[in-house]
Amino acid sequence: MAYDGRYRVEEIDDDNKVVYFDPFQIKKITGTRLAPILGKGDFQTPFSVALDLAGIYREDTKTKYIEAGNILEPVLRSYLKKNVSLLTPLLGLPDGSKAVIEEPVPGEKCGYDHFHNENVFGGLVDGYVTVDGKRNSILEIKTSGERGKWMDENGEYTNVTEQYMLQASLYAELSGLDRIVFVVGFLDSDDYDRPKFWVPNENNTKIIVKKKLDMAPYMKEAAEWYKEYMKNGQTPEWTDADKDLVKYLKAYKPGKR
């Protein structure tokens, strides 16, 4: 558990399977929260994301997989910087063009949000690819222990999950860009126990370039969801997948609405 804000719960309605809460200082929809809100999340549900946005509950992010990703993000960004010429054919750049990897503003220096001009959507990007001094693509860095999920029927690394595409496409949309450069580091099981010893190379690191999704319908649906639930201080209905979370909430005596 990353934080415990159960005191913000005003009522747990068993009949309607919803939780009412104080809607003060609701967080913004980030790339990782978008897919679960749309019912496309692999790990979170709309109900659990609502609690996260309300500051009531968030899953513990200190797993070895997430920690490895955090440790290796700057390592993979540096690898791409040193091998930026690999992007020339992937981006279809003309001869003489110069691609550069732009570092993101550190989270602690921007309030952990790179999009302060947005009221509903926000988050942190992993960087940008600039070409001849102009931003060309959003950079999205991932680590994975499952190579097969990223490979197509020809054994090429072209597949990106819908959840990751939604995440990166949101940041591309907010940045006014149409293209995403995924840099994926593939780790063996032992690497997750010692991520600081993992070194990227051409065999364990792949670059995938994708055109961003048309985000208009997704963002419209998410914004409507945000207005309906978050602004009104009410979660969507919980499901059987949320039963342990509901049990956890009930262990704390809420106030009355």
Q: Is 206 in a helix, a strand, or coil?
A: strand
**Tokens encoding 72:** 């290796």
Q: Do residue 45 and residue 79 come from a single domain?
A: no
Q: Do residue 40 and residue 133 come from a single domain?
A: no
Q: Residue 179, Cα to own-chain centre: how many angstroms?
A: 17
| Helix pair angle (243-250, 46-53), 10° resolution | 40
- Give the amino acid at 211: K
Query: E-assigned strands of 9-109?
Result: 9-13, 18-21, 57-58, 99-102
pLDDT of residue 43: 82
- Give the amino acid at 21: F
Which of 179, 87, 100, 196 shows the shortest CA–CA distance to 143?
196
CA 152/CA 141 separation, integer angstroms: 20
Residue 228, number of CB atoms within 10 A of its CB = 11
Q: Do residue 190 and residue 155 come from a single domain?
A: yes
Judge whether 223 lies within some domain: no
- Per the structure, the count of domains in the chain is 2
Q: Do residue 44 and residue 68 come from a single domain?
A: no
Judge whether 228 lies within some domain: no
pLDDT of residue 58: 83
List, edge to edge, every strand of the sheet that includes 205-211: 99-102, 128-131, 134-144, 179-186, 205-211
Q: Which residues share a beta bridge with 137?
A: 129
Q: Do residue 116 and residue 153 come from a single domain?
A: yes
- Give the amino acid at 174: L
Q: Residue 221 is inside which H or E element, if any?
A: helix 216-225
Q: Exposure of 176 by Cβ count < 10 A (0-12 exposed, 13-18 middle, 19+ buried)?
A: exposed
pLDDT of residue 253: 59
pLDDT of residue 95: 85
pLDDT of residue 256: 45
CA 182/CA 127 separation, integer angstroms: 11
Range of the domain at 115: 64-216
Q: Is 135 in a helix, a strand, or coil?
A: strand
Q: Tens place of pLDDT for every residue, the chain, 257 residues? A: 556 788 889 999 999 999 999 998 899 999 999 999 999 987 899 999 999 999 999 876 678 999 999 999 999 999 999 999 999 999 999 988 999 999 999 999 999 999 999 999 999 999 999 999 999 999 999 999 999 999 999 999 999 999 999 999 999 999 999 999 999 999 999 999 999 999 999 999 999 999 999 999 999 999 999 999 999 999 999 999 999 999 999 987 544 44
pLDDT of residue 61: 65
Q: Do residue 121 and residue 195 come from a single domain?
A: yes
Q: Do residue 51 and residue 34 come from a single domain?
A: yes
Q: Do residue 128 and residue 32 come from a single domain?
A: no
pLDDT of residue 207: 98
Q: Using one digit for the tens of pLDDT, what is the confidence trace for 103-160? A: 999 999 999 999 999 999 999 999 999 999 999 999 999 999 999 999 999 999 999 9
Which of 117, 128, 123, 141 shows the shortest CA–CA distance to 205?
141
Q: Do residue 126 and residue 204 come from a single domain?
A: yes
Q: Do residue 96 and residue 206 come from a single domain?
A: yes
Q: Do residue 75 and residue 201 come from a single domain?
A: yes
| Nearby residues of 128 by Cβ (< 8 Å), 6 or more positions away | 101, 102, 104, 135, 136, 137, 138, 139, 175, 177
Judge whether 126 lies within some domain: yes
